[in-house]
């Protein structure tokens, strides 16, 4: 049995290496690859993806998993070895349903779509993007046909990002938060943030963002930050974390974009080294992963204690723009609720409404009740209904996100789930770290990073999402109430007409 476990680990490590090599190619495509390299890159990714899929879904892996059932049952549930066998078996059983050629074609279309999207977005040309969009949804519908589901054909796609959660469960959470968020947005005081809507030198933004990352608990030499069209984070190991952001000529959104991706990076960096090169070396779900990007972006990065330390360095970096702006006025501006067009630039209150729109559109695109060609019209109608804004063009509308271009269909709900989960976990963090505010005021974020690493990040995928939430909070349920209470309190504290 020890020999079987050793062989399983060896096979899984080889597959993980292939997947990490694909990740390197994907990072390069989105950060530094010349655009004419896209066709060849799509073939490279498809080839590696097919090989990795075939190796993982092999009869040998299935035989090893079956031979190891007695070992799994004899060990503690959350031990590395028992978790490895259990989690790998579920992944294997799901992936066995998917033909290798479908997997390869899906990866190829996603890589091709990424480059098409970049150019279509730059040219505000939805018609140029439409064939790639139609192809990606066609392939995802073929993927859905590989599975059985009870509530919705969207569930197999959701399961790729939020394992063991059904579409109806997401809808229940969203039905709870949607009316409250809409009302909060309507009642929120108007806050003058015009001092942020001015030019900020991108090079100085980059220097400040790098200084911030140096304080978050990353081991020196384990990360890098690069500019890209659409910010993302990816890791090739726990000690090779790649974060990206974008430095706009107007505004300071790069700060919170960087903090957001740093949350993803912290999760990857904090996974136990014992899980490296296995299917366990990841977060249990993207909802939990997003809970940490939102924690670092918002619960830390928009808080008074954090800016009590960092506002003077920010003013010193941009004296002409912020030298005359008080800390209170700055905090009111970065915590205001104000409907806008762009999801990644949205405030905490309106952000989840952007996600609820995408969740609705994705379901309709998957079940066929909405044709891809009609997406811009449906998008504009949804933005008007949910946020009260008019969409002036497709670049600021349906073309703003990369997910549908790169095949990430089913991903969007995890962002709003992450918002909700972040406040559930934050209550536990606050209780465990009673001196957290004082630590942030002193610019010391290492105790927070260390606690999250020990109690959450290090677990990787050893537990299911619900088991992970229950271990920290005492309940497996995703509870929207702490999130809604937090937003109510925050908005009620904003000075009217600030």
For residues 477 and 479, give the distance between their C-alpha atoms in angstroms, rounded to a whole number: 6
For residues 164 and 141, give the distance between their C-alpha atoms in angstroms, rounded to a whole number: 19
Residue 69 · residue 106 · CB < 8 Å: no
Closest to 454 (Cα-Cα) out of 433, 424, 478: 433
Residue 357 · residue 189 · CB < 8 Å: no
In angstroms, the Cα distances linking 328 to 191, 253, 320 are 12, 18, 18
For residues 284 and 263, give the distance between their C-alpha atoms in angstroms, rounded to a whole number: 15
> Which of the following is catalytic: 72, 162, 261, 348?
261
For 129-138, give one letter per residue: b (16+ CB within 10 A) or e. bbebbebbbe
For residues 128 and 119, give the distance between their C-alpha atoms in angstroms, rounded to a whole number: 9
Helix H or strand E segment including 235: strand 233-237
Query: What contacts 83, CB < 8 A, 6 or more positions away?
Result: 77, 280, 461, 462, 463
β-pairing, 240-245 with 233-237? antiparallel
In angstroms, the Cα distances linking 25 to 31, 44, 80, 243 are 10, 8, 29, 15
For the beta sheet containing 223-227, the strands, ordered from the edge strand earlier in sequence to the opposite edge, are 223-227, 240-245, 233-237
For residues 166 and 21, give the distance between their C-alpha atoms in angstroms, rounded to a whole number: 31
The DSSP-derived string for 290-317 is HHHHHIIIIIITTSHHHHHHHHHHHHHH
Closest to 388 (Cα-Cα) out of 345, 434, 323, 337: 337
Is there a catalytic annotation at residue 261? Answer: yes
What six digits make up the tokens of 33? 């690859």
Active-site residue list: 261
């Amino acid at each position: 049995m020890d020999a079987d476990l050793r062989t399983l680990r060896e096979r899984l490590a080889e597959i993980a290496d292939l997947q990490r090599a694909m990740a390197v190619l994907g990072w390069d495509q989105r950060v530094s690859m010349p655009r004419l390299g896209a066709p060849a890159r799509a073939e490279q990714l498809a080839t590696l993806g097919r090989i990795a899929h075939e190796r993982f879904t092999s009869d040998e892996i299935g035989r090893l998993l079956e031979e190891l059932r007695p070992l799994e049952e004899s060990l503690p549930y959350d031990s590395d070895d028992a978790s490895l066998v259990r989690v790998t078996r579920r992944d294997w059983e799901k992936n066995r349903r998917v033909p290798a050629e479908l997997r390869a074609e899906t990866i190829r279309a996603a890589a091709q779509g990424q480059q098409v999207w970049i150019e279509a977005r730059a040219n505000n040309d939805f018609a140029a993007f439409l064939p790639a969009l139609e192809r990606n949804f066609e392939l995802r519908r073929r993927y859905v046909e590989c599975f059985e589901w009870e509530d919705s054909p969207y569930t197999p796609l959701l399961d790729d990002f939020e394992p063991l959660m059904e579409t109806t469960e997401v809808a229940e959470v969203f039905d709870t938060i949607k009316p409250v968020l809409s009302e909060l947005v309507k009642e929120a005081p108007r806050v003058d943030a015009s001092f942020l809507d001015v030019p900020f030198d991108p090079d100085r933004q980059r220097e400040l963002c790098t200084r911030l990352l140096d304080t978050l608990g990353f081991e020196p030499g384990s990360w890098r930050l690069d500019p890209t069209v659409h910010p993302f984070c990816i890791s090739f190991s726990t000690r090779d974390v790649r974060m990206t952001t974008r430095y706009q000529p107007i505004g300071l959104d790069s700060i919170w974009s960087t903090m957001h991706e740093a949350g993803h990076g912290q999760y990857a960096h904090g996974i136990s080294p014992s899980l490296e090169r296995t299917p366990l070396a990841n977060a249990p779900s993207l909802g939990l992963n997003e809970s940490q990007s939102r924690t670092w972006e918002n619960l830390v990065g928009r808080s008074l204690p954090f800016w009590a330390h960092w506002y003077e360095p920010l003013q010193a970096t941009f004296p002409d723009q912020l030298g005359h702006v008080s800390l209170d006025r700055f905090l009111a501006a970065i915590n205001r609720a104000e409907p806008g067009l762009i999801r990644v630039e949205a405030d905490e209150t309106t952000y989840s409404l952007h996600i609820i729109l995408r969740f609705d559109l994705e379901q309709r695109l998957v079940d066929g009740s909405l044709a891809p060609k009609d997406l811009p019209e449906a998008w504009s109608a949804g933005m008007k209904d949910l946020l009260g804004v008019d969409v002036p063009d497709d670049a600021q509308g349906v073309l703003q996100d990369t997910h549908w271009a790169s095949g990430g269909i089913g991903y969007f709900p995890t962002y709003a789930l992450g918002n909700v989960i972040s406040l559930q976990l934050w209550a536990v963090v606050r209780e465990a770290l009673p001196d957290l505010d004082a630590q942030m005021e002193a610019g010391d974020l290492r105790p927070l990073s260390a606690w999250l690493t020990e109690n959450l990040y290090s677990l990787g995928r050893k537990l299911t999402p619900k088991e992970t939430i229950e271990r920290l909070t005492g309940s497996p349920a995703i509870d929207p109430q702490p999130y809604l209470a937090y937003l109510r309190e925050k908005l009620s504290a904003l000075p009217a007409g600030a």
